[in-house]
Amino acid sequence: MVHLESSKDYVVVMKGITKVYPGGVVANRNIDFDLKRGEIHALLGENGAGKTTLMKILAGCLLPDKGEIYVKGERVKFRSPVDAIKKGIGMVHQHFTLIPSFTVAENIILGGIGGKREGIKLDMKAIEEEIAEFAKKHGLPINPKARIEELPVGLKQRVEILRLLYRKADILILDEPTSVLTPLEVKELFEALKRMASEGKSIVFVTHKLDEALSISDRITVLRKGEVVARIDNPKSISKEKLAELVVGRKIVYKAVKTKTLYDKTTPLMEIRNLKVLDDRGVLAVRNLNLTLYPGEILGLAGVEGNGQRELVEAITGLRRVEEGEIVILGKKVTNKPPKYIIELGVSYIPEDRTGRGVALELSVAENLIAKVHDKTPFSRRGILNLKSIYSFAKEAIEKFNIVTPSVKTPTMYLSGGNIQRLILARELSFKPKIIIAEQPTAGLDVAATEFIHKLLIDFRNSGCGILLISADIDEILKLSDRVAVIYGGRIVKVYDEVSRIDLIELSKYMLGVKTE
């Protein structure tokens, strides 16, 4: 592997890349990575292994502390994503970089890089025509006039890819592109990627899923804890078990044991009938939704992002107004009741937006831990807070849930993402919940933390709790759920009573609305 950087076959060579974040976390330690022309290269590793950091460095979003990067034989130093795109490198991030209120065409030309038209004047009609044609040519057709906020998530991803192509990128980095897609859409994406590779584009496919890495890539680089642990030149030669060991660094043993079917259909915990809820734009996002949750079950809600999941959860927890229909929890009608009423019935909610909703960042760890019960004894009496019992409860919770924090008085903003999630869990699970709404509970967490959370959820289910699990990760839904409901267009289009009998392609069709009952 000498002088790769000057070889014509290698479009990217990264040598000795090291990145340390301001908090002292070493995200990348002396990493070497290379990419051949026309290949699909999987960058595999669990969450937190440093994949995204490495690729953000390659795409000019982050500056490395050490290391050299060569692109097409030339030493480069990217100070911004624009520097990278000018060398043909573009990245599709996990969080899309689209402006929701702008149209597809506007989003694609934003920044003024690539395309035929230049100058100040904006001839949207001509640009839209050009983009429609461009999209068709690349086999990724799209309506250039559509507003991003109106598009399903799969098409948003398509806009991201189209923009990279429009900007003449020939080195594409896709960060966990399948996490928002149904299995069927994944298949389509893989076909598109293979077609692009055959046309000479080089693709880095970032994933934490072994199957995906094995099925699509020409080569695999495995990262663990910020270091390269393996390079696999021929993915067909390696077994999944071996690869799994490389990724995690030890044998995976799933310990959480689900007892046999527990739930009892005679006494529902929560019943939702003919629910109608509007989204932020005032459009019906939940239409005539019916759903029942029983004690002792995990009910998985499968669906493509943006099909009313968020609005449904907010309606249940009292955060969003219900237009029509009703929600009954433990025999009580809670439709349009304030969040407090619903919390006091024993409904816990682990939100997807951890820092925006799940905690108040400026407040201390202790304050966030007791926020939902601050007005109950022993945390306060007659309107005056009892700091002693607040702090002693917080200390207990920190120990029990392994929250790493210098003190209970530390503002929550100093905590890492994983610890913020533990804090949320500690709060949501400490007060004997009867219903748990878990929204993407393990997104972005590493295997150990994910296992920890899965075990907690299963334990609560075993003790008779009803859990509504909303997750974009189909594998997680299939692994944890007793029943699976599929949401599409604000309706439940299918309920599977037996998870073992689910056919993935059929599930995808329900999720995409291709099939309805």
Partner 1 sequence: MKFKLKYSEKVKVIYTLYPVISIVIALAILSLVIYIIGVDPIKALYYLYFGMMGNYNYVSETLIRATPILLVSLGLAIAFTAKVWNIGAEGQLYMGGLIAAIVALNSGGLPSAIAIPLIWICAGLAGAAWAFIPAILKAKYEINEIFTTIMMNYIAIYFTSYMLHGPLRDPVSHFPETPTIPENTWLPRIIPQYRFHAGSLFSLVVLVPLVYIMLSRSTLGFKLKLVGSSRESARYYGVDVEKSIIYAMLLSGFFAGLAGANEVTGVVFKMRPEISPGYGFTGIAVALLGRLNAFGVMLASIFMGGLINGSYTMHRMAQVPVGVAYFVQGLLIILVVAGEYILKRIMLVKGVSVR
Partner 2 sequence: MYEIVVGQLAATVRILTPLALAALGELIVERSGVLNLSIEGIMLFGAFVAFITTFYTDNPWIGILSAMGVGVLLALFFGILTVLLALDQIIVGLSMNILAMGATFFFYRAIFGWYVSPVPPHVETIITEMPIPGLSMIPVIGPIFFNQTVFTYLLFILIPLTYIVLYKTRIGLHLRACGEDPLVADYLGINVYKYRFIALAIEGVLGGIAGALLSISQYNMFLDNMTAGRGYIAIALVILGGWDPLKMLLGTLLYAFVEALQLRIQAAGVVVTAWFPYQFALMLPYLVALIALILFGRRIRGPKALAKPYRRVR
Task: Please report, as ranges, the residues that interact with partner 1 according to CB under 8 A.
Answer: 22-24, 317, 319, 338-340, 343-344, 349, 351, 353, 356-364, 367, 371-372, 374-375, 380, 383-385, 387, 404-407, 409-411, 413-414
Round to whole Å and give the CA distance between 338 and 230. Answer: 53
E-assigned strands of 368-430?
A: 380-381, 384-385
Nearest to 194 by CA among 175, 167, 215: 215
| Nearest in space to 59 (alpha carbons), one of 77, 81, 42 | 81
Give whichever of 112 and 139 is closer to partner 2, judged by the CB atom. Answer: 112
- CB closer to partner 1 out of 102 and 391: 391
272 binds partner 2, rule: CB under 8 A: no
Tell me which stretch binds partner 2 (CB under 8 A): 78-86, 178-186, 236-244, 395-403.
78-86
Judged by CB under 8 A, does residue 112 bind partner 2? yes
**SS3 of 77, please?**
coil
Range 12-71, binding partner 2 (CB under 8 A): 61-63
Dihedral of alpha carbons 140, 141, 147, 151, sign: negative
Does residue number 99 form part of the binding site for partner 2 (CB under 8 A)? yes
**Which of 39, 106, 130, 311: binder of partner 2 (CB under 8 A)?**
106
Query: In residues, how long is the chain?
Result: 517
Query: Toward partner 1, which CB reaches closer, 74 or 353?
Result: 353
Site for partner 2 contains 119 (CB under 8 A): yes
| Residue matched to tokens 């309920």 | 495
CB of 100 or CB of 378, closer to partner 2: 100
Pick what 380 binds: partner 2, partner 1, none; C-beta below 5 to 8 Å, kind-dependent. partner 1
Cα torsion at 354, 356, 360, 366 (round to 10°)?
0
Closer by beta carbon to partner 2, 106 or else 352: 106
Q: Is 459 helix (H, G, I), strand (E, B) or coil?
A: helix
- For residue 69, what is the enclosing H or E element? strand 66-71
Contacted by 112, from partner 2, partner 1, none: CB < 5 to 8 Å by type = partner 2
CB of 331 vs partner 1, minimal distance in Å: 21
- Closer CB to partner 1, 11 or 390, in the complex: 390
- From CA 328, how far away is CA 290, in angstroms rounded? 11
The site partner of 50 among partner 1, partner 2, none (C-beta below 5 to 8 Å per kind) is: none
Tokens in use for 266? 């005679």
Binding partner of residue 215 among partner 2, partner 1, none, CB under 5 to 8 Å per kind? Answer: none
User: Smallest distance from the beta carbon of 59 to partner 2, in angstroms?
Assistant: 9
Residue 229: DSSP 8-state = E
Choose the stretch contacting partner 2; rule: CB under 8 A; options: 106-114, 259-267, 443-451, 479-487: 106-114
**Which CB atom, from 164 or from 370, has the smaller least distance to partner 2?**
164
Question: 3: helix, coil or strand?
Answer: coil
* 111 vs 378, beta carbon nearer partner 2: 111
The residue within the footprint of partner 2, chosen from 74, 75, 101, 378 (CB under 8 A), is 101
The pair of structure tokens assigned to 82 is 């624009």
What the block records as the tokens of 249 is 């660094």
Task: Pick what 410 binds: partner 1, partner 2, none; C-beta below 5 to 8 Å, kind-dependent.
Answer: partner 1
Q: What is the CB neighbour count within 10 angstroms for residue 265?
A: 10
- The residue (of 135 and 437) whose beta carbon lies closer to partner 1 is 437
Q: Decide if 471 contacts 300 (C-beta within 8 A).
A: yes
63 vs 448, beta carbon nearer partner 2: 63
Say which entry of partner 1, partner 2, none residue 383 contacts (CB below 5 to 8 A, set by partner kind): partner 1
Measuring CA to CA, how many Å separate 264 from each of 5, 297, 482? 63, 9, 12
CB closer to partner 2, 29 vs 147: 147
Contact with partner 2 (CB under 8 A) among 18, 65, 102, 363: 102
Q: What is the DSSP string of 25-43?
A: -EEEEEEEEEEETT-EEEE
Stretch that binds partner 2, among 75-83, 184-192, 241-249, 263-271 (CB under 8 A): 75-83
Q: For residues 119 and 99, is the Cβ–Cβ distance under 8 A?
A: no
| CB-CB contact of 482 with 261 (8 Å) | yes
Between 131 and 359, name the residue whose CB sits nearer to partner 1: 359
- Number of residues binding to partner 2, judged by CB under 8 A: 24
> Distance (Å, rounded) from C-alpha 105 to C-alpha 212?
31
Among 25, 110, 413, 448, binds partner 2 (CB under 8 A): 110
64 within 8 A of 28, measured Cβ to Cβ = yes
Q: Nearest CA to 63 among 116, 7, 22, 124? A: 22
Give the Cα separation of 314 and 335 in Å (integer). Answer: 11
Judged by beta carbon distances under 5 to 8 A according to partner kind, the member of partner 1, partner 2, none in contact with residue 110 is partner 2
Q: Which does 362 bind (CB under 5 to 8 A by kind): partner 1, partner 2, none?
A: partner 1
Residue 515 carries which side chain, given as an amino acid letter? K
Q: What amino acid is encoded at 506 in this protein?
A: E
Residue 172, beta-bridge partner list: 90, 203
126 lies in the site for partner 2, by CB under 8 A: no
Q: Which of 14, 35, 55, 85 binds partner 2 (CB under 8 A)?
A: 85
Q: Which residue has the tokens 């790769």?
A: 4
List of residues contacting partner 2 (CB under 8 A): 61-63, 79-82, 85, 97-102, 106, 109-113, 119-122
